[in-house]
């Protein structure tokens, strides 16, 4: 049986990866995490929609640079490897990933 986490991560220290963030529940969750101050990495296949969500997250966060968006298809191992590389390059390297499948 898995041991329950006893430490709570402060909202401003959260790092979240959302796969399929360009629409629907992925978009809504990205906006919620951005608004509470988390560093958010959003991915999706549709570039225009992803850019729109990125802009909305920036507004919700009130700070530029707290959102990383990567155009990627979750079914592509190459795309997911690129997401990992981009996260490791930026300030997102301590990412506590939360995977949400929507797109």
Q: In order along the chain (103 residues), what is the average pLDDT of each group of 10 residues?
A: 73 86 95 93 94 95 86 93 87 42 38
Q: What is the pLDDT of residue 93?
A: 44
Does 83 map to a domain? yes
CATH number at residue 81: 3.40.50.720
64 falls within a domain: yes
pLDDT at residue 68, as a whole number = 92
pLDDT of residue 6: 66
What's the number of CA atoms in the CB half-sphere (13 Å) around residue 4?
2
Instruction: Show the domain range for 44.
Output: 11-89
Distance CA 103, CA 97 (A): 17
Q: CB neighbours of 72 closer than 8 A, spacing ≥ 6?
A: 43, 44, 45, 79, 80, 82, 83
- Tokens linked to 14: 């959260």
Q: What count of other Cβ atoms lies within 10 Å of the Cβ of residue 32?
A: 14
Per the domain annotation, does 54 fall within a domain? yes
Let me know if residue 24 belongs to a domain. Answer: yes
Asked if residue 92 lies in contact with residue 15, where contact means CB atoms within 8 angstroms, the answer is yes
Q: How many structural domains comprise the chain?
A: 1
Please tell me the pTM assigned to this model.
0.78
Q: Is residue 96 part of a domain?
A: no
Position 76 in a domain: yes
């Amino acid at each position: 049986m898995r041991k329950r986490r006893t430490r709570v991560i402060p909202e401003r220290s959260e790092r979240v990866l959302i796969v399929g963030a360009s629409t629907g529940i992925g978009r809504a969750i990205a906006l919620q995490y951005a608004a509470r101050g988390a560093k958010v990495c959003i991915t999706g296949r549709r570039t225009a929609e992803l850019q729109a969500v990125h802009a909305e997250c920036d507004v919700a966060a009130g700070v530029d640079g707290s959102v990383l968006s990567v155009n990627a298809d979750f079914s592509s191992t190459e795309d997911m490897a690129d997401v990992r590389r981009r996260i490791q390059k930026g300030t997102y390297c301590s990412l506590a990933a939360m995977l949400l499948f929507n797109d």
